[in-house]
Structure 1
Amino acid sequence: MYPLTTYHLHQIFNELDRNKDGLVSIDELMSLLTRLGLHAKRPELELLVGDDKALNLFNFIFFYQSLNNIIVEENRDQIKERHLESAEDDDLRKAFGVFDLNGDGFISCEELRIALSRLGLWDEKSCGRDCMQMIGVYDTNSDGLLDFEEFKEMMSMDSLESS
Protein backbone atom coordinates (compact mmCIF):
# COMPACT_ATOMS: atom_id res chain seq x y z
CA MET A 1 0.00 0.00 0.00
CA TYR A 2 1.40 3.35 -1.03
CA PRO A 3 1.16 6.49 1.08
CA LEU A 4 -1.48 8.93 -0.06
CA THR A 5 -0.37 11.99 -1.97
CA THR A 6 -1.12 15.53 -0.84
CA TYR A 7 -3.72 15.73 -3.61
CA HIS A 8 -5.54 12.64 -2.27
CA LEU A 9 -5.33 13.93 1.29
CA HIS A 10 -6.83 17.24 0.14
CA GLN A 11 -9.73 15.35 -1.46
CA ILE A 12 -10.28 13.31 1.72
CA PHE A 13 -10.08 16.46 3.80
CA ASN A 14 -12.75 18.13 1.65
CA GLU A 15 -15.02 15.06 1.97
CA LEU A 16 -14.60 15.01 5.75
CA ASP A 17 -15.20 18.73 6.12
CA ARG A 18 -18.98 18.32 5.90
CA ASN A 19 -19.83 21.86 7.00
CA LYS A 20 -17.16 23.33 4.70
CA ASP A 21 -15.59 25.49 7.42
CA GLY A 22 -12.03 24.54 6.37
CA LEU A 23 -11.60 22.33 9.43
CA VAL A 24 -11.99 18.65 10.22
CA SER A 25 -13.53 18.35 13.67
CA ILE A 26 -12.89 15.55 16.11
CA ASP A 27 -16.33 14.13 15.29
CA GLU A 28 -15.50 14.14 11.57
CA LEU A 29 -12.12 12.57 12.29
CA MET A 30 -13.70 9.89 14.51
CA SER A 31 -16.13 9.09 11.71
CA LEU A 32 -13.24 8.55 9.29
CA LEU A 33 -11.29 6.37 11.71
CA THR A 34 -14.39 4.27 12.45
CA ARG A 35 -14.97 3.70 8.72
CA LEU A 36 -11.34 2.58 8.44
CA GLY A 37 -11.83 0.14 11.30
CA LEU A 38 -9.62 2.13 13.66
CA HIS A 39 -11.18 2.87 17.00
CA ALA A 40 -9.81 5.86 18.83
CA LYS A 41 -11.21 7.34 22.00
CA ARG A 42 -12.32 10.95 21.98
CA PRO A 43 -9.84 12.03 24.72
CA GLU A 44 -6.97 10.52 22.72
CA LEU A 45 -8.00 12.44 19.62
CA GLU A 46 -8.45 15.63 21.61
CA LEU A 47 -4.86 15.29 22.80
CA LEU A 48 -3.65 14.74 19.25
CA VAL A 49 -5.74 17.50 17.71
CA GLY A 50 -5.00 20.04 20.41
CA ASP A 51 -6.89 22.99 21.84
CA ASP A 52 -8.52 23.96 18.56
CA LYS A 53 -10.54 20.69 18.57
CA ALA A 54 -10.23 20.60 14.78
CA LEU A 55 -7.57 20.20 12.09
CA ASN A 56 -6.94 22.54 9.20
CA LEU A 57 -5.62 21.02 5.95
CA PHE A 58 -1.97 21.42 6.95
CA ASN A 59 -2.52 19.77 10.36
CA PHE A 60 -4.67 17.04 8.75
CA ILE A 61 -1.79 16.17 6.41
CA PHE A 62 0.63 16.17 9.35
CA PHE A 63 -1.80 13.96 11.31
CA TYR A 64 -1.95 11.48 8.40
CA GLN A 65 1.83 11.46 7.99
CA SER A 66 2.29 10.81 11.73
CA LEU A 67 -0.15 7.90 11.64
CA ASN A 68 1.48 6.55 8.49
CA ASN A 69 4.94 6.72 10.07
CA ILE A 70 3.70 4.80 13.11
CA ILE A 71 2.12 2.11 10.90
CA VAL A 72 5.25 1.82 8.72
CA GLU A 73 7.46 1.51 11.81
CA GLU A 74 5.18 -1.15 13.33
CA ASN A 75 5.26 -3.12 10.07
CA ARG A 76 9.04 -2.83 9.92
CA ASP A 77 9.31 -4.13 13.50
CA GLN A 78 6.99 -7.06 12.72
CA ILE A 79 9.03 -8.00 9.64
CA LYS A 80 12.27 -7.86 11.66
CA GLU A 81 10.72 -9.99 14.40
CA ARG A 82 9.53 -12.62 11.89
CA HIS A 83 12.97 -12.69 10.27
CA LEU A 84 14.69 -13.16 13.64
CA GLU A 85 12.26 -15.94 14.60
CA SER A 86 12.86 -17.66 11.27
CA ALA A 87 16.66 -17.46 11.66
CA GLU A 88 16.37 -18.72 15.24
CA ASP A 89 14.24 -21.67 14.09
CA ASP A 90 16.81 -22.49 11.39
CA ASP A 91 19.58 -22.57 13.99
CA LEU A 92 17.47 -24.68 16.32
CA ARG A 93 16.67 -27.14 13.51
CA LYS A 94 20.40 -27.57 12.88
CA ALA A 95 20.98 -28.15 16.58
CA PHE A 96 18.04 -30.58 16.66
CA GLY A 97 19.70 -32.48 13.81
CA VAL A 98 22.84 -32.97 15.93
CA PHE A 99 20.74 -34.92 18.43
CA ASP A 100 18.28 -36.59 16.03
CA LEU A 101 20.87 -39.08 14.81
CA ASN A 102 18.54 -41.28 12.74
CA GLY A 103 16.66 -38.30 11.22
CA ASP A 104 13.19 -39.51 12.24
CA GLY A 105 12.17 -36.14 13.71
CA PHE A 106 12.51 -37.25 17.33
CA ILE A 107 15.28 -37.37 19.91
CA SER A 108 15.28 -40.62 21.85
CA CYS A 109 17.04 -41.27 25.12
CA GLU A 110 19.75 -43.24 23.31
CA GLU A 111 20.28 -40.45 20.72
CA LEU A 112 20.53 -37.88 23.51
CA ARG A 113 23.10 -39.97 25.37
CA ILE A 114 25.20 -40.60 22.22
CA ALA A 115 25.09 -36.95 21.09
CA LEU A 116 25.99 -35.63 24.54
CA SER A 117 28.84 -38.15 24.75
CA ARG A 118 30.18 -37.05 21.35
CA LEU A 119 30.03 -33.44 22.50
CA GLY A 120 31.89 -34.36 25.68
CA LEU A 121 28.90 -33.40 27.82
CA TRP A 122 27.96 -36.88 29.07
CA ASP A 123 30.03 -39.02 31.33
CA GLU A 124 28.35 -42.14 32.70
CA LYS A 125 30.51 -42.12 35.82
CA SER A 126 30.34 -38.48 36.89
CA CYS A 127 27.04 -37.41 35.38
CA GLY A 128 24.84 -40.18 36.67
CA ARG A 129 21.66 -38.48 35.40
CA ASP A 130 19.16 -40.62 33.60
CA CYS A 131 18.48 -39.32 30.09
CA MET A 132 14.82 -40.37 30.42
CA GLN A 133 14.49 -37.86 33.25
CA MET A 134 16.14 -35.18 31.12
CA ILE A 135 13.72 -35.86 28.27
CA GLY A 136 10.76 -36.20 30.64
CA VAL A 137 11.03 -32.59 31.77
CA TYR A 138 10.16 -31.31 28.26
CA ASP A 139 8.25 -34.31 26.86
CA THR A 140 4.81 -32.69 26.89
CA ASN A 141 3.01 -35.58 25.17
CA SER A 142 4.74 -38.23 27.33
CA ASP A 143 5.86 -40.39 24.41
CA GLY A 144 9.43 -40.72 25.74
CA LEU A 145 10.81 -38.70 22.82
CA LEU A 146 11.49 -35.04 22.11
CA ASP A 147 10.00 -33.62 18.92
CA PHE A 148 11.21 -30.31 17.50
CA GLU A 149 8.70 -28.16 19.39
CA GLU A 150 9.62 -29.82 22.70
CA PHE A 151 13.32 -29.38 21.88
CA LYS A 152 12.64 -25.74 21.01
CA GLU A 153 10.97 -25.23 24.39
CA MET A 154 13.91 -26.92 26.11
CA MET A 155 16.36 -24.61 24.33
CA SER A 156 14.36 -21.41 24.87
CA MET A 157 15.97 -18.70 26.96
CA ASP A 158 13.13 -18.87 29.53
CA SER A 159 13.81 -22.54 30.12
CA LEU A 160 17.55 -22.02 30.34
CA GLU A 161 17.18 -19.13 32.80
CA SER A 162 14.88 -21.05 35.14
CA SER A 163 17.23 -24.06 35.28
Structure 2
Amino acid sequence: MDALTTAVKSSSFRLRSPSLNSVRLRRIFDLFDTNHDELITVDELSRALILLGLDTNINQLDSIIKTFIQDGNTGLTFDDFQDLHKEIDDLFFRLDDNNDSCNDDGDSKVQDRKEETDLTEAFKVFDEDGDGYISAKELQTVLMKLGFAEGNEIKRVEMMISSVDRNHDGRVDFIEFKEMMRKVIVLIR
Protein backbone atom coordinates (compact mmCIF):
# COMPACT_ATOMS: atom_id res chain seq x y z
CA MET A 1 0.00 0.00 0.00
CA ASP A 2 1.49 3.36 -0.95
CA ALA A 3 1.63 6.50 1.17
CA LEU A 4 -1.25 8.27 -0.55
CA THR A 5 -3.57 5.30 -0.12
CA THR A 6 -2.55 4.97 3.53
CA ALA A 7 -3.14 8.67 4.15
CA VAL A 8 -6.59 8.79 2.61
CA LYS A 9 -7.78 5.68 4.46
CA SER A 10 -6.94 7.33 7.77
CA SER A 11 -9.96 8.60 9.67
CA SER A 12 -8.02 11.73 10.57
CA PHE A 13 -7.25 12.71 6.96
CA ARG A 14 -9.93 15.35 7.06
CA LEU A 15 -11.17 17.34 9.98
CA ARG A 16 -14.84 18.26 9.85
CA SER A 17 -14.24 21.83 11.02
CA PRO A 18 -13.27 23.86 7.93
CA SER A 19 -11.22 26.36 9.93
CA LEU A 20 -9.27 23.60 11.69
CA ASN A 21 -8.72 21.89 8.37
CA SER A 22 -7.40 25.11 6.80
CA VAL A 23 -4.94 25.69 9.65
CA ARG A 24 -3.85 22.06 9.53
CA LEU A 25 -3.33 22.19 5.76
CA ARG A 26 -1.21 25.33 6.04
CA ARG A 27 0.89 23.76 8.82
CA ILE A 28 1.35 20.60 6.77
CA PHE A 29 2.30 22.64 3.71
CA ASP A 30 4.88 24.58 5.75
CA LEU A 31 6.28 21.33 7.18
CA PHE A 32 6.69 19.78 3.75
CA ASP A 33 8.21 22.97 2.29
CA THR A 34 11.57 22.38 3.97
CA ASN A 35 13.45 25.10 2.08
CA HIS A 36 10.63 27.64 2.67
CA ASP A 37 10.35 28.67 -0.98
CA GLU A 38 6.52 28.40 -0.91
CA LEU A 39 6.67 25.33 -3.19
CA ILE A 40 6.52 21.65 -2.27
CA THR A 41 8.58 19.55 -4.63
CA VAL A 42 8.06 15.83 -5.11
CA ASP A 43 11.35 15.24 -3.27
CA GLU A 44 10.21 17.34 -0.29
CA LEU A 45 6.89 15.52 -0.17
CA SER A 46 8.57 12.14 -0.45
CA ARG A 47 11.01 12.94 2.39
CA ALA A 48 8.15 14.13 4.60
CA LEU A 49 6.13 10.98 3.96
CA ILE A 50 9.16 8.81 4.74
CA LEU A 51 9.70 10.74 8.01
CA LEU A 52 6.09 9.99 8.87
CA GLY A 53 6.76 6.29 8.30
CA LEU A 54 4.81 6.01 5.05
CA ASP A 55 6.23 4.03 2.13
CA THR A 56 6.52 6.12 -0.99
CA ASN A 57 7.06 5.26 -4.61
CA ILE A 58 8.69 8.37 -6.04
CA ASN A 59 7.46 7.63 -9.59
CA GLN A 60 3.82 7.22 -8.51
CA LEU A 61 4.06 10.28 -6.31
CA ASP A 62 5.56 12.29 -9.16
CA SER A 63 2.81 11.31 -11.61
CA ILE A 64 0.06 12.17 -9.11
CA ILE A 65 1.57 15.47 -8.02
CA LYS A 66 2.56 16.57 -11.53
CA THR A 67 -1.09 17.04 -12.51
CA PHE A 68 -1.57 19.62 -9.75
CA ILE A 69 1.58 21.69 -10.36
CA GLN A 70 0.92 24.89 -12.33
CA ASP A 71 2.83 25.38 -15.57
CA GLY A 72 6.19 27.00 -14.97
CA ASN A 73 6.42 25.90 -11.31
CA THR A 74 8.75 23.24 -9.95
CA GLY A 75 6.42 22.24 -7.15
CA LEU A 76 3.02 22.66 -5.53
CA THR A 77 2.02 26.14 -4.37
CA PHE A 78 -0.28 26.29 -1.34
CA ASP A 79 -3.26 26.70 -3.70
CA ASP A 80 -2.14 23.62 -5.65
CA PHE A 81 -1.76 21.75 -2.37
CA GLN A 82 -5.31 22.75 -1.36
CA ASP A 83 -6.60 21.57 -4.76
CA LEU A 84 -4.84 18.22 -4.29
CA HIS A 85 -6.32 17.88 -0.82
CA LYS A 86 -9.81 18.80 -2.08
CA GLU A 87 -9.61 16.24 -4.88
CA ILE A 88 -8.59 13.49 -2.46
CA ASP A 89 -11.26 14.65 -0.02
CA ASP A 90 -13.96 14.58 -2.72
CA LEU A 91 -12.83 11.21 -4.00
CA PHE A 92 -12.71 9.42 -0.66
CA PHE A 93 -15.14 11.28 1.59
CA ARG A 94 -18.04 12.46 -0.59
CA LEU A 95 -20.20 9.52 0.53
CA ASP A 96 -19.41 10.23 4.19
CA ASP A 97 -20.66 13.79 3.76
CA ASN A 98 -23.90 12.57 2.21
CA ASN A 99 -24.43 10.17 5.11
CA ASP A 100 -23.64 12.91 7.62
CA SER A 101 -26.15 15.26 6.05
CA CYS A 102 -28.84 12.60 6.22
CA ASN A 103 -28.20 12.14 9.92
CA ASP A 104 -27.56 15.81 10.70
CA ASP A 105 -30.80 17.73 11.11
CA GLY A 106 -28.93 21.04 11.48
CA ASP A 107 -28.61 20.57 15.20
CA SER A 108 -25.53 22.35 16.58
CA LYS A 109 -25.03 19.51 19.06
CA VAL A 110 -24.19 17.18 16.16
CA GLN A 111 -21.63 19.70 14.88
CA ASP A 112 -20.20 20.07 18.39
CA ARG A 113 -19.77 16.30 18.65
CA LYS A 114 -17.99 16.23 15.29
CA GLU A 115 -15.67 19.03 16.39
CA GLU A 116 -14.99 17.21 19.66
CA THR A 117 -14.14 14.05 17.71
CA ASP A 118 -11.76 15.98 15.47
CA LEU A 119 -10.05 17.58 18.47
CA THR A 120 -9.75 14.16 20.14
CA GLU A 121 -8.09 12.74 17.03
CA ALA A 122 -5.68 15.67 16.86
CA PHE A 123 -4.85 15.32 20.56
CA LYS A 124 -4.07 11.60 20.11
CA VAL A 125 -1.40 12.47 17.53
CA PHE A 126 0.60 14.21 20.26
CA ASP A 127 -0.36 11.98 23.21
CA GLU A 128 1.80 9.09 22.05
CA ASP A 129 1.59 7.04 25.25
CA GLY A 130 -2.19 7.52 25.55
CA ASP A 131 -2.08 8.75 29.16
CA GLY A 132 -4.33 11.74 28.47
CA TYR A 133 -1.54 14.33 28.58
CA ILE A 134 0.95 15.83 26.14
CA SER A 135 4.33 15.98 27.81
CA ALA A 136 7.29 18.02 26.62
CA LYS A 137 8.99 14.78 25.56
CA GLU A 138 5.96 13.70 23.50
CA LEU A 139 5.73 17.11 21.84
CA GLN A 140 9.47 17.01 21.17
CA THR A 141 9.14 13.59 19.54
CA VAL A 142 6.37 14.75 17.21
CA LEU A 143 8.21 17.97 16.33
CA MET A 144 11.36 16.02 15.54
CA LYS A 145 9.44 13.53 13.36
CA LEU A 146 8.01 16.45 11.44
CA GLY A 147 11.41 18.09 11.03
CA PHE A 148 10.82 21.16 13.23
CA ALA A 149 14.06 22.68 14.54
CA GLU A 150 12.27 23.35 17.85
CA GLY A 151 12.28 19.60 18.43
CA ASN A 152 16.04 19.68 18.93
CA GLU A 153 15.84 21.91 22.01
CA ILE A 154 13.90 20.58 25.00
CA LYS A 155 13.89 24.05 26.62
CA ARG A 156 11.99 25.50 23.66
CA VAL A 157 9.57 22.57 23.76
CA GLU A 158 9.02 23.11 27.49
CA MET A 159 8.29 26.79 26.79
CA MET A 160 5.71 25.74 24.20
CA ILE A 161 4.07 23.46 26.75
CA SER A 162 4.06 26.13 29.47
CA SER A 163 2.36 28.62 27.12
CA VAL A 164 -0.80 26.46 27.14
CA ASP A 165 -0.41 24.73 30.50
CA ARG A 166 -3.06 26.54 32.55
CA ASN A 167 -2.77 24.41 35.71
CA HIS A 168 1.07 24.48 35.63
CA ASP A 169 1.56 20.72 35.89
CA GLY A 170 4.16 20.66 33.11
CA ARG A 171 1.95 18.96 30.55
CA VAL A 172 -1.09 19.70 28.41
CA ASP A 173 -4.35 17.91 29.12
CA PHE A 174 -7.24 17.62 26.67
CA ILE A 175 -9.11 20.62 28.12
CA GLU A 176 -6.03 22.85 27.74
CA PHE A 177 -5.54 21.50 24.22
CA LYS A 178 -9.17 22.30 23.30
CA GLU A 179 -8.86 25.85 24.67
CA MET A 180 -5.70 26.38 22.63
CA MET A 181 -7.32 25.03 19.45
CA ARG A 182 -10.47 27.12 19.91
CA LYS A 183 -8.33 30.25 20.25
CA VAL A 184 -6.61 29.34 16.98
CA ILE A 185 -9.99 28.95 15.28
CA VAL A 186 -11.15 32.36 16.53
CA LEU A 187 -7.93 33.98 15.27
CA ILE A 188 -8.32 32.64 11.73
CA ARG A 189 -12.00 33.41 11.30
User: TM-score per shorter chain, which class?
Assistant: 0.3 to 0.5
| Bigger RCO of structures 1 and 2 (CA < 8 A, at least 6 apart) | 2
TM value normalised by structure 1: 0.45
TM value normalised by structure 2: 0.39
Q: Which protein shows a greater Rg? A: 1
